[in-house]
Structure 1
Amino acid sequence: MNAFTVVALLHCFLLAALVQSAPVSLPSNPSQTFKEAVERVMRLVEKIRKDVRSVHGSIINIDGLTLDPSSQTGQLEMMRITLGIPDTPVLKELSEQFTADMCVSRMLAGGRLYQGLLVDLSGRLGGLEALSAELRDLVTHINQMKDTAQLSSDSSDQSSLDLTLNLHGNYDVQVAAHLTLCQLLEFCHDLIRSLRNMALYRPGISWEHTAGM
């Protein structure tokens, strides 16, 4: 085998190794791809926020149960605890203490929580199915956003909840639906704020560096 043949073979082997090890799954522009994923989630959240108001107006028929924050009394808070409606996962501004991974984990936890609550309530009250499907889509979109930026999420606390066990009559069902929709609306507000913050995140760059831009 002459020297030219040896060099040619080595070149072929090197080229094959480089192609095999190339990170083909990464987008060519991670920051732009991530920003587009964030915008898709934000558009869906805006739609959910509008639909919550529409659904509440069509299914809640007890006087005094409105989406006005001033109507949320201490008695309703006690009912929330009695009915077993969980608190909303808290979303904070991105920082070294509250990372993008933590933020997306809580986004997913909130989306799954309210989808599950609406599925439970759908068995006792009509008109919630479409909103539940939108929340299922929201979880899918947030997962896509997470994967685009190669973020990780903590799914260790995925305990199941059957809200219907605590609903003993129409009044309980109405109050539970009202409280769930109120919390979901507030969660959407928090999501929009966090998504705007997430839009500044640069995949592959530490938040400390991003925040200084």
Structure 2
Amino acid sequence: MDTATAFALLHCFLLAYLVQSAPVSLPSNPSPAFSEAAERAKTLVDKILKEIPTVHSATISTEGLTLDPTSQNANLQMMVISLGIPAAPVLKPLSERFTLDMCVSRMSAGSQLYHGLLGVLSEKQSGLKDLQADLRDLQTTINKMKEVAQLSDSSADQAHVPYLSRPLDGSYEVQVAVHVTLTQMRSFCHDLMRSLRVVAPSRPRSAGAQ
């Protein structure tokens, strides 16, 4: 094999490696309808994040149940396991193994989960209906993103799970369930906002825009 042939083969191997190892990129120009729906979703997530501390203060009276993560203890974690409160789907950075389809499907599944949880809890605790309505609007908006982008559903991510493994017994269990739901929802919404900023970054307004 002469030097020129060896160099050409080496070049091809390097090019193939670089192509395979390149990160997955997002569509550079998402449709206006997708961007509009994503902006609406961001607005709703921001509203929910601002509402959660207010709703928590109005509904939780049990001492020690605060939104401060350092206040959590082993007994509370045992209660969470006992009640079977499900965790939200995990949102990850986009890649070949975590596609835009999967990302938006998990956004939808998470909003559906917390809408359902608040529906169950609102039968035992007042003050949750407005937050539940915002989650319903969020789920509708995320599904609109999926529709306009013609994304497929990920049935594995949206597999049905019971909202609670057993009925709530007593006011303390209700308080714990509401507290954990609001705490986990806040964490999910932070992840959701980060993902929305990636899949549909806000574009700076032009200097002449009003």
Q: Under a length normalisation based on structure 1, what TM-score does the superposition of the two structures give?
A: 0.76
- The Cα of 1:102 is off from its aligned counterpart by 0.4
Please provide the CA RMSD for this pair: 1.7
CA–CA distance in structure 2, aligned partners of residues 162 and 181 of structure 1: 14
1:158 CA drift (Å): 3.8
Deviation of 1:109 (Å): 0.9
The 8 Å contact of residues 121 and 164 in structure 1, kept in 2 or not, is answered as no
Per-residue CA shift, 1:58-110, capped at 9, x if unaligned?
Answer: 01001111111111223222211100101121000111111000001111111
Deviations 1:124-173 (A, max 9, x none): 00001111111111110000011121111224544252538331100000
Instruction: Say if 2:167 is the partner of 1:186.
Output: no
Moved >6 Å (runs of 4+):
none
* Residue number in structure 2 paired with 1:175: 176
Bigger mean CA offset, 54-63 vs 159-168: 159-168
Give runs of aligned pairs for residues 20-59 of structure 1, distance below 5 A.
30-59=30-59
> How do 1:43-82 and structure 2 match up within 5 A?
43-82=43-82
C-alpha distance in 2, partners of 1:162/1:53?
22
- TM-score w.r.t. length of structure 2: 0.77
1:95 and 2:105 are equivalent in the alignment = no
Match of 1:161 in 2: 162
Checking the alignment, whether the CA contact within 8 Å between 1:35 and 1:199 is kept in structure 2 is yes
Query: Structure 1: how far apart are the matches of 2:113 and 2:72?
Result: 21
| 1:145-160 equivalent positions in 2, closer than 5 A | 145-155=145-155, 157-159=158-160
**Deviation of 1:46 (Å):** 0.4
**Residues 112 and 135 in structure 1, CA contact (< 8 A), matched pair in contact too:** yes
Aligned-residue sequence identity (percent) comes to: 56
Partner amino acid, structure 1, of 2:196: L
Instruction: Determine the C-alpha separation between the residues in 1 that align with 2:166 and 2:98.
Output: 35
Q: Is the 8 A contact 2:85 2:163 kept in 1?
A: no
* Structure 1 unmatched runs, 5+: 1-28, 201-213
Structure with the higher helix share, 1 or 2: 1
Alignment partner of 1:163: what SS? coil
Number of aligned residues: 172
